[in-house]
Chains A and B, each alone.
Chain A
Amino acid sequence: MENKKTILDIHNFSVSFEQYGSGFKKTTLPVIHNLDITVHQGEMVAIVGSSGSGKSLLAHGILGIQPYNATLGGEIIYNGEVLTEERKKALRGSEIVLVPQGTSYLDPLMKVGPQVLKGKNDKKLKERLDKIFKGYNLRDNVYNLYPFELSGGMNRRIMVSTAMMAQPKLVVADEPTPGLHMEMAKKVMSHFRELADNGAGVLVITHDLEQAIEVADRIVVFYAGTTLEDADVKDFEKEETLRHPYTKALWRAMPKNGFKFIDGIQPYVKAMPEGCVFGPRCPHFTEECKCAIPYKNVKDGRVRCIKAEEN
């Protein structure tokens, strides 16, 4: 994997909002901070974190469709060059594609076929779409149906088709499987695997660690708006090969590993702990953890924990 070209390198990325607190004070809320991810060509990286931790913002930030009141920080390098807002605009939909979360991302009043073709009436494109639909087990008549007439699984496949139409170099999939039963979810994930095997870099954002382990090459653990660990998927075979206490806790929470959960909840953006964001829930927490924690390389992976080697 190392000799493959890096397609996406996100460094120290942040997304913040301005908000009115009580009275007239304006405060800045950093929903995402210190986020680092790299995706290589032909690689499938899963970023795993619990729901409601701002993962979608990352996807939207990469595509340049973040809310107008959001401020982005840090650096995104795409294909060796800084990904500016202008470049995002030029590349999205062709080289960089998004597979969104749910059916609400499809226009309810437009037939899905024309919708995938962006309203263009082009015979060649139509033929390609027919092939893609066939590959996804979608019947011919689907072309002329509205989103409400399709099942959840079919709508997901429609959205994956939009990505296939573009022949992308980077695919960002935002929670592509929730609400789907196991079988269907696996199938949708396998479509992303195919995209990666065909040479694209795929970044899947998900809350489902088990599923991620099954299909991805690398797992990035996301917690309280930041990335805590970046590990190869085979590191998840044993607890000992994992680096961060939170990742280990996640591992132990998996059904096959004992279903053991740790106490506490993720800190809220407004009440971030000093130093390590996982500190308040960490069994190894000491005074030293109350400083800025660097993202350091440990055993072919990266971790945001100063005690990574010891424990």
Chain B
Amino acid sequence: MRKINGRIMTVMLFSAAILFLAAITISGSIFSDEAMITDFSRKNLAPSLQYLFGTDWLGRDMFIRTLTGLSMSIKIGLLAAFASSIIALALGIISATMGKTADAIVTWIIDLVMGIPHILLLILISYAFGKGFKGVVIGVALTHWTSLARVIRSEVLQLKEATYIKAAQKLGVSKFEIAWKHMFPHLFSQFLVGLILMFPHAILHEASITFLGFGLSPEQPAIGIILSESMKYLAMGRWWLAVFPGLLLVGTVILFDVAGESLRKLLDPSSAHK
């Protein structure tokens, strides 16, 4: 058999990443009730075959709790990243097509958002919306669009100057048709890759802000909450409370990154050359 070539590898990598993430999300949702079960007969157990990640001070199974937390973080990340990418798309297109003033305003807003450290801005926004779920989603959505907006802006500008678009205009092709047939396919791939690569950041920031106490309320088993609670027990040597949930979080983030990067490779025409 021939050696598996790069492109097949990339597709396999992409599918594996997506499958795994879907598995975490779905299993986390299924077990969400179980994650709350407290059982004092099994508290503070170190990891074993029965309790892979051990149990906490209330006897909750950390493995299930981690899954539920992650699945919640993924869902929030998806929602926020999606909202953020819509903002990016809208502002990117506005600044590229609606003239100089609009461009200047959008660029200025980008500078503004980039001027405040992400976490600080997240704290501010989450504070503005009364902390909790809404604050996190809006916060992440409002802070992550800047770089994608820049990409889309330059892409649209480039497309507008492209010879084949100019030729189509000269040939009298309608504006709508140019936008739909010639510009949209280019933009869409950029947009999709940008969206997927936004997930890991969104998830990380969701976890961070929740960890600091601005995100989800302590009753919810979000990954940030789990890790923030685990901090109190570190000094007592209950390392498993922090290590495993964190590792799984890192894994999730990497998987999203892998998925995004492999999709980029597949969609990028210049990667046709080996």
Contact residues of A with B, CB < 8 Å?
17-20, 24, 26, 69
Contacts and interface: CB of A to CB of B under 8 A. Distances in A.
Contact of A17 (B7, B8, B273): B273
Nearest to A27: B272
Nearest to B271: A20
Interface string B1-28: 0000101100000000000000000000
Given A24-B5, A69-B274, 11 more contacts: A17-B273, A17-B274, A18-B273, A18-B274, A19-B272, A20-B5, A20-B271, A20-B272, A24-B8, A26-B5, A69-B273
B10 to A, nearest CB: 10
B144 to A, nearest CB: 32
A17 B273 CA distance: 8
Contacts of B8: 24
B273 A19 contact: yes
Contacts, number: 20
B178 to A, nearest CB: 25
Contacts of B7: 20, 24
Residue from A19, A26, A69 having most chain B Cβ neighbours under 10 A:
A26
A46 B156 CA distance: 43
Contacts of B274: 17-20, 26, 69
20 contacts: A17-B273, A17-B274, A18-B273, A18-B274, A19-B272, A19-B273, A19-B274, A20-B5, A20-B7, A20-B271, A20-B272, A20-B273, A20-B274, A24-B5, A24-B7, A24-B8, A26-B5, A26-B274, A69-B273, A69-B274
Contacts of A26: 5, 274
A207 to B, nearest CB: 21
Interface residues on B, range: under 10
A17 B272 CA distance: 11
Interface in B251-274: 271-274
B266 to A, nearest CB: 10
Nearest to B2: A26
Interface in B207-250: none
A26 to B, nearest CB: 6
The 6 residue pairs across chains A and B that have the minimum distance between CB atoms: A18-B274, A20-B272, A69-B274, A24-B7, A24-B8, A19-B272
Nearest to B266: A20
A195 B232 CA distance: 79
A24 B5 CA distance: 8
A26 B274 CA distance: 9
A28 B61 CA distance: 56
Nearest to A22: B272
A116 B232 CA distance: 64
Contacts of B272: 19-20
A24 B272 CA distance: 10
A59 to B, nearest CB: 20
A27 to B, nearest CB: 10
B12 to A, nearest CB: 11
Nearest to A18: B274
Contacts of A24: 5, 7-8
A17 B270 CA distance: 13
B26 to A, nearest CB: 30
Nearest to B11: A24
Nearest to A23: B7
Interface string B26-56: 0000000000000000000000000000000
A26 B273 CA distance: 9
A39 B273 CA distance: 33
B7 to A, nearest CB: 5
A100 to B, nearest CB: 22
B196 to A, nearest CB: 21
Most buried by B among A18, A19, A20, A69: A20
Contacts of A19: 272-274
A19 B7 CA distance: 11
A20 B5 CA distance: 10
